[in-house]
Amino acid sequence: MRMEYFVLITILLVGFIIMPMAIPTIKTTQPYSVFNKNEEGCSSFFRLMYDTNDKTRPLIYPYNRGDLRENSVLFIISPDVEFTEEEVENLKDYLSSGNVLIIADNFNSGNSILKYMNLSYRFSEKPLYDVIKPVEFYSNEYVILENPSTIVGKGNGNVIMYSSDSSNMGNYPRPMDESRYPLILEKNYGGGKIILISDPTLFKNKLFKYNREFLKDYFNYSDKNAIYFDEYHHSDVNPQNIVTVTVNNRNITPEFISYLFTIVLIIIGVSKGMGVLFKNLIKKFENVIIGNNNSKQDTNAHIKIFIDEIIEKYDLNKSILYRIINKII
């Protein structure tokens, strides 16, 4: 192996280690975001879905029909950014291909989707009061909701969950003024299915331990090609909120760098022959080993020319490469 390759590999390897490593992350307190690990976030539910299907992904950029895989599921949980008509047209196409769309909302922007879809159903703008908690689901399972509304409107949807018979919309239940109201509703749409959930708190980390079994049973999508979570329509989750976490490099010492050089030498020596490698190494740096000051200056000049040749040959960023070398020296 030519000496220039050895120097280039070593410089790049050390550079990756001693320069701060940028790790893209998203930090947010946005309610119902899968990136929010606090009580108001949905990170626990996202993890549950990911454990079921490792093709679970958040969507933080504008998306259209072509960005989503067939035989998939899209969760839209409490969006606080209005959907445009064009965006909903993409969702219509998504549903027409046999996919599943889940909208969980109470008092945010979910109705903007239902409006452009020309559905008769809406999320009520009034809170639902239910004197019986938790809310009962089929098969003796229960869920706990914190701030439900209800689903209003008539159509041929299939109600999956109702509130109790001691409920009222907009006011506390009173005798002779009680009823039960739809909380979760399924409706076929095109070739796919849309599921409406009138309280996104169902997915919150705060209530996850109570609702986990229902979430695991009802949203069992292990057979899907992908599970998506819409984060783009959360106002505090967007590409501008991607922050950089800097990894501490105080443990990088001259001794560590010398060990790294040794390791690189051994790896290259095993593959190409240690004899040839050391012969070239001694030839390049013999003046430095002798310790003559003039020889050191001449050698440094040769090294600079040599590195400039590498920069030109491999089209590297000169300023970054020299910063790496200065850190090493």
Q: Do 220 and 254 sit in the same domain of this protein? A: no
> What is the per-residue pLDDT for 88?
94
> What is the per-residue pLDDT for 231?
94
pLDDT category of residue 220 using cuts at 50, 70 and 90: very high
Q: Do 111 and 7 sit in the same domain of this protein? A: no
Q: Do 206 and 260 sit in the same domain of this protein? A: no
Q: Do 83 and 231 sit in the same domain of this protein? A: yes
Domain boundary among 195, 210, 243: 243
Domain count, the chain: 2
Distance CA 305, CA 284 (A): 13
Taking the whole predicted model, whether its pTM rises above 0.75 is answered as no
Reading phi first (left if > 0) and then psi (alpha if -120 to 50, else beta), residue 293 is in: alpha
pLDDT category of residue 195 using cuts at 50, 70 and 90: very high
Q: Do 104 and 11 sit in the same domain of this protein? A: no
Q: Do 236 and 261 sit in the same domain of this protein? A: no
pLDDT category of residue 92 using cuts at 50, 70 and 90: very high
**What is the mean predicted confidence (pLDDT) over 137-163?**
88
- The CATH number that applies at residue 162 is 3.40.50
Q: Is the pLDDT of residue 54 over 80?
A: yes
Q: Do 205 and 117 sit in the same domain of this protein? A: yes
Q: Is the pLDDT of residue 152 over 60?
A: yes
pLDDT category of residue 289 using cuts at 50, 70 and 90: very low
> What is the per-residue pLDDT for 257?
57
> What is the per-residue pLDDT for 246?
38
> What is the per-residue pLDDT for 295?
52
Distance CA 175, CA 18 (A): 72
Q: Is the pLDDT of residue 214 over 80?
A: yes
**What is the mean predicted confidence (pLDDT) over 5-28?**
56
Distance CA 138, CA 147 (A): 21
Distance CA 160, CA 157 (A): 9
Q: Give the range of the structural domain holding residue 134, as residue numbers without chain letter.
A: 23-243
> What is the per-residue pLDDT for 21?
45
Q: Do 15 and 120 sit in the same domain of this protein? A: no
Q: Do 184 and 258 sit in the same domain of this protein? A: no
Q: Do 96 and 163 sit in the same domain of this protein? A: yes
Higher pLDDT, 26 or 181: 181
Q: Do 198 and 54 sit in the same domain of this protein? A: yes
Higher pLDDT, 298 or 72: 72
**What is the mean predicted confidence (pLDDT) over 104-133?**
91
Q: Is the pLDDT of residue 70 over 90?
A: yes
Instruction: Please answer whether residues 51 and 222 qualify as being in contact, where contact means their C-beta atoms are separated by less than 8 angstroms.
Output: no
Distance CA 107, CA 126 (A): 8
Instruction: Please answer whether residues 287 and 295 qualify as being in contact, where contact means their C-beta atoms are separated by less than 8 angstroms.
Output: yes
Domain boundary among 179, 212, 243: 243
**What is the mean predicted confidence (pLDDT) over 109-127?**
93
Domain boundary among 223, 243, 263: 243
Q: Do 47 and 156 sit in the same domain of this protein? A: yes
